[in-house]
Structures are given as structure tokens and as C-alpha cells.
């Protein structure tokens, strides 16, 4: 099944992800897909959840931390600056504390806690996770293309939603139990209604955000995940393992895109043994890919004569991928 056919048959799948090991072409395919969809008249946002994002490089435009930047008609690109997001968030927390308690400044102990919490390794991922919720919940675009982090990290990202979900359930349950005791005391003292629990409201808000993100990641109707592979043994072994793990998180896998296939026609020319060997090796693994993934192989993309950067090369690649 071709990539074009997949998109034509499933217009409801608006959240498109390209995942795979590092350096196989996730960003390149994300950009080419976004370009093709934009050319079809769809309003598209391609965004990166990778702290080492390279959308700026591929579009040859500095978009880091600048929100959605228009690349061309119908196409926007965004790289999330986690540090900037965390700083703005810290500012919000501080302001809330000052407003709530009328302090002149945030007490030392609390300020130290805010600083320490923000320096934790999980903070950056959490901040990106939250920023993605903002992006996708707004729903301003026809398509959202996620340029994902490499596989291991992507699994961590997926599991994060699950861990957060468990945390929020536990914390909310505790708060609800506390609430029950408060109400029991109020009834015994024959007091009027207990005050509204602001924390419980806040927890419900957080739960809504976590659910929004995890629902999108696992929504079989609206989400499509493509694995990017190249015809090499290690990559295929790792991808098969990752596909099993992704399936456990209920990520709807839509297909496999094979990248960097050395054109077989070169065999007709006078080529050095090095290249001949590469082609023969790839033949073996391409056969294996077809046997393993069958009609889930959505496209085979040849090794291009130069790296894909700039709109001209992105267009060329999109024409190859989407058969125009």
C-alpha cells in the first residue's frame, strides 16, 4: 500500500508520527510529508518533540523556540524550546504564589524548591510533553506531524503518559478521600458546605491535559505511526523489538517507510565492488522487510544524491514518497 493511498483512505488520521532509530530520516520524512500535505491544500503543523531538533536545519530557517513559524503556504513548523517553556512556567508559579498570599517575594525555601524541581532531568521531558498538549489541543491545523525523538526515547515519552496517569489517579484519590473526611467533620459539626477544594480542581485540570496527550498517542481513528527503517540487519532487529513495545502501548502503527535504498539500476553500470556489495546486502534485507512487514511497507525511498535540506530537496523527496 502506498503512502498516498494511506492518506487518501484515512483522511481522519490527523496526527502523524515518524519514529525510528536515530539518524534514519524521521525529520526528513516528517518535513516531506508535511510539505506534500500542505501542497494538497491541508493546513499542516510539523513540530519536533526532540530537545535536539533539526527542523530548523532541514527548513534552513531558525525556528527554535519561536512558536509555529510559517514555512510556506499551509505549512508551519515548530521546535519547542523546553528551557524557555520551563522558565515561563516557573514565572507563572511564582506569580500565583505572590498573588495568593500577598508576599513581596517568594519565600527562600519555596524558591529553592522551584529551582531544584526545574533542574531535575525529567523536567525537560515533562515540559515538552505539556507543550505538545497545548499544540494539539488548540486544533488549529488539519494535520499535526510529530517529528519524534529516537526509538528508546520515544518509548520513554509514551510511557510517561502512563506513569503520569497513574500518579494523577493516586493523588486525586487521596485528595478525594481527604475531602470525604472533611465533609464528615462538617456534617458532625453541622457546618454549612465545606469550601471548594482548589487542589482537586487543579488535579482535574492536570488529568485532562495528561489524558488529552495519551489519548492522541493511542487513538486508532485519528493517529498514524510510521516506522522509518533502512535495509540493515541491526536496524531491522531493533525496529521489530520496538514495534512490539509500541504495540503494548496501543500505538496504531500505520506502516513502514524504507529509507536509503541504493538504486538497483546502478548494477547495470560499471560500479566499484564496494557499491555492488552494498546493493546485494540491501537486496537481502529488502526481501526480509517485505516478508516481515508485507503490505505494511508504505514506501521505499532511494538514497539521494545529496542530503535533504531546503524546500527544493524536500519537494523532490515528497514527490518520490508520494509518487508524483
Partner 1 sequence: MNVSSQPEKKSFWQAAREFLYGLFGMEFAEHALEMRASLESLFMLGTVGDMIGMPVLPPYYSLRLLPYVIPHIETWKRRVLREREFSDEHDYHLEGL
Size, binding site for partner 1 by CB under 8 A: 47
CA-based nearest residue to 261, from 317, 291, 300: 300
Taking the least distance from each CB to partner 1, the nearer of 118 and 218 is 118
Mention every residue, 6+ apart, whose C-beta is less than 8 A from residue 155. 242, 245, 246, 249
Taking the least distance from each CB to partner 1, the nearer of 188 and 234 is 188
Taking the least distance from each CB to partner 1, the nearer of 94 and 315 is 94
Distance CA(199)–CA(17), nearest Å, equals 35
Contact call for residue 212 and partner 1 (CB under 8 A): no
Could you tell me where the beta strands, DSSP code E, fall in the chain? 15-19, 44-48, 69-72, 75-79, 143-147, 223-229, 253-261, 297-302
Beta bridge partners of 47: 78, 146
Contact string (CB under 8 A) for partner 1, positions 51-90, x = contact: -----------------------------------x--xx
Taking the least distance from each CB to partner 1, the nearer of 55 and 128 is 128
Contact call for residue 306 and partner 1 (CB under 8 A): no
Residue 163 to residues 74, 121, 146, 160, Cα–Cα distance (Å):
36, 16, 21, 5
* Stretch binding partner 1 (CB under 8 A), from 143-151, 185-193, 248-256, 290-298: 185-193
Taking the least distance from each CB to partner 1, the nearer of 60 and 112 is 112
* Stretch binding partner 1 (CB under 8 A), from 65-73, 110-118, 269-277, 316-324: 110-118
CB of 130 to partner 1, least distance (A): 6
Chosen residue from 73, 102, 139, 188 binding partner 1 by CB under 8 A: 188
The rounded radius of gyration (Å) of the Cα atoms in the chain is 24
Chosen residue from 52, 139, 190, 274 binding partner 1 by CB under 8 A: 190
Contact call for residue 127 and partner 1 (CB under 8 A): yes
Q: Are 194 and 186 in contact (CB under 8 A)?
A: yes
Taking the least distance from each CB to partner 1, the nearer of 170 and 276 is 170
* Exposure letters 83-120 (e unless 16+ CB within 10 A, then b): eebbeebbeeebeebeeeeeeeebeeeeeeebeeebee
CA-based nearest residue to 320, from 280, 265, 261, 271: 261
CA-based nearest residue to 297, from 261, 248, 251, 244: 261
Chosen residue from 1, 93, 245, 304 binding partner 1 by CB under 8 A: 93
Contact call for residue 167 and partner 1 (CB under 8 A): yes
Taking the least distance from each CB to partner 1, the nearer of 98 and 275 is 98
Contact call for residue 211 and partner 1 (CB under 8 A): no
DSSP state of 264: G
Beta bridge partners of 147: 18, 48
Contact call for residue 110 and partner 1 (CB under 8 A): yes
Interface residues with partner 1 (CB under 8 A)? 86, 89-90, 93, 96-97, 100-101, 107, 109-110, 113-114, 116-118, 120, 122-123, 126-127, 129-130, 160, 163-164, 167-168, 170-171, 174-175, 177-178, 181-182, 184-185, 188-190, 198-199, 202-203, 206, 210
Amino acid at each position: 500500500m502506498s503512502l498516498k493511498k494511506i492518506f487518501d483512505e484515512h483522511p481522519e488520521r490527523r496526527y502523524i508520527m515518524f519514529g525510528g532509530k536515530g539518524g534514519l530520516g524521521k525529520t526528513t520524512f516528517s518535513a516531506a510529508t508535511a510539505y506534500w500535505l500542505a501542497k494538497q491544500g491541508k493546513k499542516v503543523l510539523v513540530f519536533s518533540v526532540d530537545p535536539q531538533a533539526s527542523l530548523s536545519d532541514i527548513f534552513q530557517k531558525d525556528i527554535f523556540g519561536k512558536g509555529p513559524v510559517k514555512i510556506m503556504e499551509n505549512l508551519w513548523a515548530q521546535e519547542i524550546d523546553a528551557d524557555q517553556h520551563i522558565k515561563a512556567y516557573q514565572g507563572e508559579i511564582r506569580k500565583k504564589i505572590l498573588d495568593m498570599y500577598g508576599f513581596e517575594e517568594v519565600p527562600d525555601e519555596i524558591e529553592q524548591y522551584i529551582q531544584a524541581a526545574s533542574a531535575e532531568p525529567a523536567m525537560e521531558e515533562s515540559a515538552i510533553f505539556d507543550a505538545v498538549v497545548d499544540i494539539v489541543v488548540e486544533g488549529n491545523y488539519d494535520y499535526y506531524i510529530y517529528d519524534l525523538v529516537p526509538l528508546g526515547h520515544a518509548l520513554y515519552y509514551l510511557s510517561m503518559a502512563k506513569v503520569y496517569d497513574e500518579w494523577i489517579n493516586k493523588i486525586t484519590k487521596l485528595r478525594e478521600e481527604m475531602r470525604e473526611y472533611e465533609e464528615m467533620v462538617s456534617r458532625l459539626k453541622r457546618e454549612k458546605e465545606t469550601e471548594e477544594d482548589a487542589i482537586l480542581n487543579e488535579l482535574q485540570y492536570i488529568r485532562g491535559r495528561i489524558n488529552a496527550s495519551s489519548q492522541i498517542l493511542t487513538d486508532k481513528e485519528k493517529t498514524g505511526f510510521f516506522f522509518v527503517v533502512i535495509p540493515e540487519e541491526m536496524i531491522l532487529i531493533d525496529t521489530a523489538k520496538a514495534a512490539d513495545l509500541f504495540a503494548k502501548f496501543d500505538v496504531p502503527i500505520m506502516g513502514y517507510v524504507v529509507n536509503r535504498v541504493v538504486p538497483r539500476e546502478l548494477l547495470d553500470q560499471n560500479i566499484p565492488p564496494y557499491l555492488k556489495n552494498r546493493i546485494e546486502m540491501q537486496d537481502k534485507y529488502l526481501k526480509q522487510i517485505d516478508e516481515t512487514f508485507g503490505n505494511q511497507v508504505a514506501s521505499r525511498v532511494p538514497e539521494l544524491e545529496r542530503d535533504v535540506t531546503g524546500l527544493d530537496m524536500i519537494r523532490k523527496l515528497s514527490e518520490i514518497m508520494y509518487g508524483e
